Structures are given as structure tokens and as C-alpha cells.
Structure 1
């Protein structure tokens, strides 16, 4: 199955987003930067709520080292979106996320994107083994089989 065929059931965690007029570009669809904001928002919401991340006090930080997005069909204001999240790969110090962007009430994905985080010491910015609470939370999103982004 290609990422263009993703369905809601392919994702584990969801965050909703109510589009704004300013999210549209001159072609009346969401700008590219909005998709990146959506992906960043669902990932960091999950890390904060389910992995114990506190951006100001955690001993480690997650640095983005790679990102990509595949646009499938347009969406625009005033859509309400559901952003799905899953983990495609979980290493000792890194994680690769995949996100699906869906319009509320629709089963077909509008865009699929994601990025790779490397967990680093918050002071020296050097890779480190992922904290236990992060790993435990991210394992709940891990997809063991199937095509990857």
C-alpha cells in the first residue's frame, strides 16, 4: 500500500485542527508551511501528554534531522482537520514519525508527512539514549508492519 492509500485506521493518535482563513494561500488551499506546523503540533502534543516531555526542564531535547511530506489532495479553510500520528521506526536515540492529514468526516488522506527526531542532551546537544518515559510512550505508536513513509 502506498502512503496515498492511508486511512485513519493506519494511525494511533489524533489531534484536531480548525483551519483559519490565513492558512490558505493565493490558490485557496493550505500553504505548505501549515502542514509542517500541523505535523510539529501533533508530535509535540503527544510527547508532552504521553511521554513526559517538559520543553523547559527535560534533560533531553528532540532535534529534527529530516523531514518530508507527500501532498495528495488539497484542503482549505474552513475545513476541520484530524492529524493522525504513528511511529514507523524507533531506535535507541531516534524516532521516525508519520502523520496523516484528514478532513473531518473523510476517510481519504490529504497529505502524509513526518520527520525524524534525534534525542540529544539539552546542554551539549549530543545524541543520547532516549529516556525511558519517552520510549514507553513512543512504543504505543509503533507500527510493526506495513509500508513506511
Structure 2
């Protein structure tokens, strides 16, 4: 397997600042690997809420993570502020592959990058459904240029 190279900040059409917290550091003095997935959740769901494509309390359609992956290039540590970059790599009938880059401060090269695949389901039944129009519109803004 070929190890990917760090992406550039410009590869992501949406950027969101996320402050690190004291509790993000592990005993080795850097942000623990599992915390990066929290950053992934924050950028994806924050974007969808801002775009009006997700109401976490009452949306009839919700996204469930079915796959996730992350590559780490450079460590982060509290009190760094990170910037999470977001793009959509693939959009299916009921699923989306979000790609995320995590950047330290103003760095142009990713400290980590990875992806989430969400399957969108009916909140009540848990069955996959077609992506609602507001979600499709929000995703279109994140498509590759």
C-alpha cells in the first residue's frame, strides 16, 4: 500500500477553525489519534448545520458513519488551533464520502487527513433513503472543482 502525501489547504473548499483542548493531549504530549475523528465529526456536522441541511434534533434523515480512515503526518498538541478542511469525494444515492484535512495553525500542508463515509437513513426506521434536496445542495458546494 502506498502511503498518501499530505494534501494542501487549497484542496478543500470549506475550512473550519477548531481549538484543541487540554484533554486532547495524551501522555505522549500530543493530540491522541482518536481525537482527530472528533475533528472530522465537528467539520462535517458543523458544515451541514450551517447550510441548513441538518437539524440534529429533528431532521427526518440523518447520516451514520459506516467507514472511516485517517493518515497522520505531523503531530498536533494543545494549545494549537487546527483548521479542518472539508470536501466531498463521492456522492451516491444515499451515501457520501467526505474527505477531511487537518491543518495546524496556518500550515499549508495537512498534519492529518482522512475520510468519513456516511449513509443517510430515515431517523425512525434506520433504512437508507435518497439524499434530501437541501443536503444535495450543500454537498454540491463541496464537490471537486
- Shorter-chain TM range is over 0.9
Q: CA deviation at 1:22?
A: 1.4
What TM-score do the two structures reach when normalised by structure 1? Answer: 0.91
Q: CA deviation at 1:33?
A: 1.7
| 2:90 corresponding residue in structure 1 | 89
Structure 1 unaligned blocks of 5 or more:
145-149
Aligned-residue RMSD, C-alpha: 1.3
- What does residue range 5-24 of structure 1 map to in structure 2 within 5 Å? 5-24=6-25
Q: CA deviation at 1:58?
A: 1.1
- What does residue range 30-49 of structure 1 map to in structure 2 within 5 Å? 30-49=31-50
| 1:147 corresponding residue in structure 2 | none
Q: CA deviation at 1:51?
A: 4.2
The 2-side partners of 1:33 and 1:84 are apart by 18
What is the total number of aligned residue pairs between the two structures?
143
Q: CA deviation at 1:4?
A: 2.1
**Cα shift readout 1:21-56 (whole Å, capped 9, x = no counterpart):** 211111111011210100000000011111421111
The 2-side partners of 1:60 and 1:22 are apart by 32
Structure 2 unaligned blocks of 5 or more:
none
The 2-side partners of 1:5 and 1:17 are apart by 19
What TM-score do the two structures reach when normalised by structure 2? Answer: 0.94
Q: CA deviation at 1:143?
A: 1.5
Q: CA deviation at 1:5?
A: 3.1
| 1:136 corresponding residue in structure 2 | 137
2:95–2:119 contact (8 Å) kept in structure 1: yes
Q: CA deviation at 1:93?
A: 0.6
| 1:53 corresponding residue in structure 2 | 54
Q: CA deviation at 1:114?
A: 1.6
The 1-side partners of 2:6 and 2:79 are apart by 24
